């Protein structure tokens, strides 16, 4: 099982102009803890929508790489989006699920993945080009390569420890997060 | 022989022309009979990415992602789909993402299926409560004007605009009993 903070930190080393969409809750805190960046579109709500924001962005910016980093609860709420993404086959989109099999923000209640629901199999059934589970930190380098070079759509199910981590709170004003992102993308 | 333009049948073409005018590049939709011609026009256009959604709220995320990437997007749905979007609409309002939603109405004029009525009768209120400007189209001759104005407000002002295409415009669903 992975230490989520260290895993995300390693994924975002030398990120270049990677576009990062972290899902609400711990994924947003993990990405902020790895270092604030204008090309992070932090979510504080819109649960279930993170993967679809990634799709819209990937379609709009086909020459850039888009990484969605989100929790199992967020992805489970929008499972249909795996089918939607599978239809469009964006080759520049990678989804990393930080899967602690828990709803961490609300008291660590078990999620469907705790009960054997298999996100990797779902992604493959939805015509993702590649999907795999990772459980060890040394695999972070391979996942980082997938983020920058892998032919998408790709889903990585990162099995992380169920633990409370200190909250690292980035920008919360949606207009400011959006505007900063767009300005950085236009100048990158 | 002169063939008059059938404005009653060609209102989806007027919407499509407005999409082209304002540069819509992504269209998310859950299929609806009333939108079938517009969907076909968008799918045939290589400048528009057509995205068939499994549920309408996915489209809200799509619009946000498109806007982050510098593209304008529109959503097509039936009135029942508006209810599926309520929480996700907060993304548009929180961040000021311009958005045009074209809603084909069910559950109003001459509705055959009572199961459409509860959502159809609250659709416009739900949209307003969710932060949308709403405009209603009852006749084919006003489609172009209203859709054009709605698109301009949405994308010039980063506003959320919903255009309700009434059941009188679309025509009653024909049922085989």
Q: Tell me the per-residue pLDDT of A79-98, one tens digit each, with 9 for 90 and over.
A: 999 999 999 999 999 999 99
pLDDT for the residue numbered A188? 77
CATH of region A4-187? 3.40.50.970
Domain spans in chain A, listed from the N-terminal domain onward: 4-187
Phi (first) and psi of residue B28, to 5 degrees: -100, 140
Classify residue B151: in a domain, yes or no. yes
CATH number at residue B163: 3.40.50.970
Classify residue B93: in a domain, yes or no. yes
Number of domains, chain B: 1
How far are the Cα atoms of A15, A94, B29, B123, B145 from residue A85, in angstroms, in the given order? 23, 11, 14, 28, 34
Classify residue B161: in a domain, yes or no. yes
**Quick one: pLDDT band at residue A185, thresholds 50, 70, 90?**
very high
**Quick one: pLDDT band at residue B177, thresholds 50, 70, 90?**
low
**Which burial class, exposed, middle or buried, applies to A11 when counting CB atoms under 10 A from its CB (0-12, 13-18, 19+)?**
buried
Which chain B residues are Cβ-neighbours of A181 within 8 angstroms?
68
Classify residue B37: in a domain, yes or no. yes
Classify residue B147: in a domain, yes or no. yes
Classify residue B177: in a domain, yes or no. no
Alpha-carbon span B140 to B112, nearest angstrom: 22
Distance of CA B52 to the CA centre of its chain: 14
**Quick one: pLDDT band at residue B3, thresholds 50, 70, 90?**
low
Out of B54, B73, B96, closest to residue A56 by CB: B73
**Domain of residue B98, residue span:** 11-114+123-170
**Quick one: pLDDT band at residue B9, thresholds 50, 70, 90?**
confident
Which residues of A lie inside 8 Å of B (Cβ-Cβ)?
Answer: 19, 21, 41, 44-61, 78, 80-81, 83-84, 87-88, 174-175, 177-178, 181-182, 185-186
Q: What pTM, to 2 d.p., does this model score?
A: 0.96
Classify residue B52: in a domain, yes or no. yes
Classify residue B5: in a domain, yes or no. no
- The overall average pLDDT reported for chain A is 97
Residue B106 DSSP class: -
Give SS3 for B113.
coil
């Amino acid at each position: 099982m992975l230490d989520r903070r260290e895993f995300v930190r390693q994924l975002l080393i030398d990120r270049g102009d990677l576009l990062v969409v972290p899902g609400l809750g711990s994924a947003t805190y993990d990405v902020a803890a790895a270092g604030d960046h204008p090309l992070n579109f932090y979510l504080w709500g819109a649960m279930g929508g993170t993967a679809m924001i990634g799709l819209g962005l990937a379609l709009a910016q086909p020459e850039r790489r888009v990484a969605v980093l989100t929790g199992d609860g967020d992805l489970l709420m929008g499972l249909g989006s795996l089918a939607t993404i599978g239809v469009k086959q964006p080759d520049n989109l990678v989804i990393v699920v930080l899967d602690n099999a828990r709803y961490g923000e609300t008291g660590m209640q078990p999620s469907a993945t705790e009960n054997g629901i298999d996100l990797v199999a779902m992604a493959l059934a939805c015509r993702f080009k590649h999907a795999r589970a990772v459980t060890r930190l040394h695999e972070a380098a391979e996942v980082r390569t997938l983020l920058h070079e892998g032919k998408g759509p790709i889903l990585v199910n990162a099995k992380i420890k169920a633990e409370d981590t200190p909250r690292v709170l980035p920008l919360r004003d949606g207009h400011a997060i959006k505007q900063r992102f767009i300005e950085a993308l236009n100048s990158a | 022989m002169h063939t008059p333009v059938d404005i009653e049948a060609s209102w989806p073409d007027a919407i499509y022309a407005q999409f082209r005018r304002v540069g819509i590049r992504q269209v998310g939709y859950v299929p609806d009979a009333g939108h079938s011609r517009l969907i076909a026009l968008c799918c045939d256009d290589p400048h528009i990415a057509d995205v068939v959604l499994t549920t309408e709220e996915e489209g809200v995320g799509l619009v946000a992602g498109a806007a982050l990437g510098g593209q304008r997007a529109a959503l097509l749905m039936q009135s029942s789909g508006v209810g599926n979007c309520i929480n996700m609409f907060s993304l548009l309002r929180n961040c000021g993402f311009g958005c045009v939603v074209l809603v084909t109405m069910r559950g109003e004029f001459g509705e055959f299926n009572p199961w459409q009525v509860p959502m159809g009768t609250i659709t416009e209120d739900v949209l307003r409560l969710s932060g949308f400007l709403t405009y209603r189209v009852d006749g084919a001759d006003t489609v172009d004007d209203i859709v054009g104005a709605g698109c301009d407000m949405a994308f010039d002002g980063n506003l959320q605009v919903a255009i309700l295409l009434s059941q009188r415009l679309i025509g009653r669903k024909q049922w085989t009993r």
